[in-house]
Amino acid sequence: MRHRLDIRGQIQGVGFRPYVYRLACEYDLAGFVANNSNGVVIEIEGPAGSVSAFEAALMTHLPPLARITELVRTARPVVASTAAQHVHASNANHAGAAFFIEPSEFSAERRPEVTPDAALCADCLRELLTPGDRRYRYPFINCTNCGPRYSIIIDTPYDRPRTTMADFTMCDACAREYHDPRDRRFHAQPNACAKCGPQLRLCRPDRSAIEGDPIELAAGMLGAGAIVAIKGIGGFHLACDATNEDAVVRLRRLKLRDGKPLAVMVPDIEAARRLCVLDAAAEAELLSPAAPIVLVDRRSSTPDGGGLAAAVAPGCRTYGVMLPYAPVHHLLFAAGCRPLVMTSANLADQPLTYEDDAAFGEMSGVADAFLVHDRPIHRPIDDSVVFAFRDRLVMIRRARGYAPRPVRLECAATASVLAVGAELKATACLLRGRDAILSEHLGDLKRPETYRNYVRAVEALLKLFDFRPECVAHDLHPHMLSTQFARSLGLPAFAVQHHHAHIVSVLAEHNVQQPVIGICCDGVGYGTDKAAWGCEILRADVTGFERVGHLEYFPLIGGDAAARQTWRPALALWRQAHCDDWRRRLPRAFEAVDAGAIETTARQAEAERGCVATSSLGRVFDAAAFLLGLCRENRHEAEAAMAVEAAAGGISAEAYPYCTTFAGRIVRMSLAPTIECMVHDVAAGADVGAIAARFHETVARMLAATAMMACETNKLSTVAISGGCFANRRLLGRLVELLERRRLKVLFNRAVPIGDGGVSLGQAVAAEAMFRCE
């Protein structure tokens, strides 16, 4: 019997071919395995029972980084003498049957999947820390099961000359490993050792070298309170001792990062367990090859933060925790480092720093030393951020460890689509066939430097996958920078409304073709009526949507200032609820605001000048934070909302009153009674945490009730949830619980970010449907 297996998935550069070779030898089979433009092709020949056993084992014992998404089996004629066709004696197995790893064959028409960067594996870690091993303490140790991939690839196919390892010629020992299919470093493109590979050095801010062991010296400086810029896999981190309050405060001041929580790297999973409450899903993700930052609750038994500085995550009940994923991280902890703040080495809102010249130029006034190496980073990529929910992860930022792994769709696209994403938390998506390839997180595009970096990244992604789009998808907002970029490409362009794109992203990753009721809540998205939408109930499928409910409009006064200064949405909501009587009844919280600014803003609202109507739930959370005295200004995105979530904690609460009215077929939701009750409770001296908990319960019940009403009216039983407001785990959890009580099927983003980072997927799928219908 002879079978041909055509396989697609994450199967190049992950040790898949040597795995197939060893398996074929184990079952005494003949044939070959080779990479090609689609993935991998295997031809296997032998007794029927052995071929069947091989195929069953193939799927159940994959290498750690391998992932099969498609396998097509074809019967082939038996070859009379496979061994006679080959002379590669070193590849013949012990029983006389011949199985070979053949040279790769690629065409320009298709490109294989590109593997994400992967955390150091257990085998390499053991070698790294074993005295006498030839790679003992070598900071660039890797194998086919771990190490850099996407960050070093220049072009496909993924061979060493097409990576940033091209200039490092392997020594004889490394070359023997590289060419031996029985070795786990067979065709490991970054394979190297201290004799032939990249080198680490510690430098002063003026680039002069600091003599001595760079790891020991850097660890000593970190322990003494210094800030060290560390070049890792996808870019530079700024690191300091996370237990040293002065060091963390100094890093914040120099990096211009006032209040945003900082990620913490701990030495191992035991340290993470001592610091935080970890469920099985959170532990699994921390220990996974992706090794993301995982948002987890602090242990209540460690009120002092478990020894971490208060400045690490002020006002938060959670930590963003990650484990060491690069060899240099493990070496620093082996040298005695305590938990480390590891934050991207860029000033606030700037692109990730990844080149040595830029790092020394931009960070010389921030870092006391630079731990650098001479392996270039070709594609900068930030750390991913996730949280565990219901035994699986929810993505906040999709980058290192996940990008550019495609989302596999059930229905193949009939056109190749480039989607350019949103303006905040931008990503791009390439849709071709059944694969939707999302870029890494590319940041917020309003700054010129970030926008230029975004354009370069999108162009690089198109080149890497030899992608020639037939059309382009963009946001409905005509002035968004990503929209302008899309229109500059000279392709047929399709505008996709922001919240529709959010809901379609859920449908795409769950392979749902039927209409659903969508709940989408966030800061802002341009609506079809030119208002700033942000709390929407939609009847939607991939081809279009109907707005069936939304939060009652209120005036967003002051443009971008209204997203920063939390008193502005609070004032707008208060004025709307109390009309001419608002000044007399103005809550005490406004005593901290300049009276002139309040009057100017009120006059603008009355004249409808400098304001836009909005249904933003994100701004309502801002208003709640202001009225509760939790946050007067958003120093970073969602700071106020995070403060309200943190205040609510795990407190059980009843809902406040809210109201709904009908405008034709559309339900209008109003939180005016809620705001009134909250202000009353604050004035009565009620516990702020209890008020915040009641606010969460009210929002969840209001959304659930409106969605259930829409399901009943439209005879639908599936609800899709998306939008940045659902990064709030309490709100997401309670909403899902309420909907499921009514036996509704509830879907939400998992493979792509639940916030704006997932919008490009929805744009691509919706635009393909529009293109198909033209």
pTM for this model (two decimals): 0.94
DSSP code of 559? T
Among residues 608, 647, 653, 618, which one has the least CA distance to residue 726?
618
pLDDT of residue 109: 59
Secondary element (H or E) of residue 124: helix 122-128
DSSP-derived 3-state class of residue 233: coil
Among residues 674, 747, 679, 738, which one has the least CA distance to residue 706?
738
Number of neighbouring beta carbons within 10 Å of residue 652: 8
Look at phi and psi of residue 390 and say left if phi exceeds 0, alpha if psi is from -120 to 50, else beta: left
State the Cα–Cα distance between residues 454 and 650, nearest whole angstrom. Answer: 39
Number of neighbouring beta carbons within 10 Å of residue 33: 24
Say how many residues make up the chain: 774
φ/ψ (deg, to 5) at 409: -100, 155
pLDDT of residue 604: 86
State the Cα–Cα distance between residues 754 and 99, nearest whole angstrom. Answer: 46
With a cut of 70, which residues of the chain have pLDDT below it? 80-97, 106-110, 301-305
Helix 729-741 to helix 639-648 angle, to the nearest 10 degrees? 60
Among residues 262, 256, 252, which one has the least CA distance to residue 316?
262
pLDDT of residue 96: 45
pLDDT of residue 36: 85
pLDDT of residue 772: 86
Among residues 524, 484, 518, 485, which one has the least CA distance to residue 504?
518
Number of neighbouring beta carbons within 10 Å of residue 277: 13
DSSP-derived 3-state class of residue 770: helix
Omega within 30 of 0 (cis) for the link into 267: no
